[in-house]
């Protein structure tokens, strides 16, 4: 009789022990601290990366519109790659008078376009510049003054996919440049400046300081 009671007691203890082990395993599956830490790190890394991209884009340091394929590099540009010149244009705040370093030069046709941004912002008049590869004509044929176009560039919010009309057309050399504006911000890979918007430093009406900034001479 004592033997049977002992056997039943041991059996019950064994069953309870197995149940306890199984419950612990289930909890480990439901809560995996290592997995949670990894996922959190991944999420934080992604968030930081996106915020950094937005910050750099605001400063103009990340081109949001790549150089289109098919452009012909200029064989003998007035301003070769690596040379410097003074910007004689005011497409952006603080640009005029800045010393620019040429990154690339292309012989092409440039267009100024008036368009309605897709994000509801005010109508943009005579925006400078686009190359032909960044525009799709609504009608077939060569783009000319007055041609209706769809914009394929993404340099500003509301630009990509916007509908507009060509204001001016010019065959020239266009440049990709880096420069530091009068606000102290460094702009890299700026698209586009045409040749007449650059002036040799020796002929400029601006005096350049050592930081690449310029002030107009009187």
What the block records as the tokens of 154 is 């993404």
Determine, yes or no, domain membership for 138. Answer: yes
DSSP reduced 3-state for 141: coil
d(CA 56, CA 51): 9
Determine, yes or no, domain membership for 65. Answer: no
pLDDT at 61: 42
Residue 97 and residue 150 in one domain: yes
pLDDT at 140: 83
Residue 110 and residue 198 in one domain: yes
Determine, yes or no, domain membership for 80. Answer: yes
> Which residues have CB under 8 Å from 146's CB, separation 6+?
165, 166
pLDDT at 215: 47
pLDDT tens digit at each of 218 positions of the chain = 455 555 556 666 665 665 555 544 444 444 343 333 322 223 333 222 344 345 444 544 444 568 998 899 999 999 999 999 999 999 999 999 999 999 999 999 999 999 999 999 999 999 999 999 999 999 888 899 999 999 999 999 999 999 999 999 999 999 999 999 999 999 999 999 999 999 999 988 776 554 555 544 43
Determine, yes or no, domain membership for 67. Answer: no
pLDDT at 142: 87
Residue 51 and residue 79 in one domain: no
Q: The domain containing residue 27 runs over which residues? A: 2-58
d(CA 152, CA 66): 11
Strand partners, 176: 104
Of the residues 11, 30, 58, the one at which a domain ends: 58
Residues 142-172 have pLDDT tens digits of 899 999 999 999 999 999 999 999 999 999 9
Determine, yes or no, domain membership for 66. Answer: no
Of the residues 58, 82, 98, the one at which a domain ends: 58
pLDDT at 14: 60
Residue 21 and residue 90 in one domain: no
Residue 106 and residue 201 in one domain: yes
Residue 111 and residue 41 in one domain: no
Residue 83 and residue 179 in one domain: yes
Our count of domains for the chain comes to 2
> Which residues have CB under 8 Å from 55's CB, separation 6+?
none
Determine, yes or no, domain membership for 119. Answer: yes
- Within 10 angstroms of residue 205's Cβ, the number of other Cβ atoms is 12
Going by their DSSP bridges, the two strands 135-137 and 148-151 should be labelled as antiparallel
């Amino acid at each position: 009789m004592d033997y049977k009671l002992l056997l039943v007691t041991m059996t019950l203890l064994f069953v309870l022990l197995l149940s306890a082990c199984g419950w612990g395993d289930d909890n480990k599956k439901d809560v995996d601290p290592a997995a949670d830490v990894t996922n959190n790190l991944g999420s934080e890394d992604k968030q930081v990366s996106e915020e950094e991209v937005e910050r750099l884009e605001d400063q103009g340091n990340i081109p949001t519109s790549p150089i289109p394929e098919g452009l012909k590099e200029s064989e003998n540009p007035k301003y070769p790659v690596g040379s410097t010149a003074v910007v004689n244009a005011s497409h952006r705040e603080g640009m005029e008078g800045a010393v620019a370093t040429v990154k690339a030069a292309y012989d092409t046709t440039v267009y100024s376009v008036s368009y309605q941004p897709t994000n509801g912002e005010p109508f943009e008049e005579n925006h400078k510049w686009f190359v032909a590869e960044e525009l799709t004509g609504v009608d077939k044929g060569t783009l000319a003054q007055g041609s209706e176009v769809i914009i394929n560039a993404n340099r500003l919010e509301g630009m990509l996919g916007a509908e507009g009309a060509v204001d001016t057309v010019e065959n020239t050399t266009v440049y990709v440049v880096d420069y530091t504006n009068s606000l102290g911000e460094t702009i890299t890979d700026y698209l586009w400046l045409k040749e007449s918007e650059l002036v040799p430093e020796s002929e400029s009406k601006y005096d350049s300081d050592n930081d690449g900034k310029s002030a107009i001479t009187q």
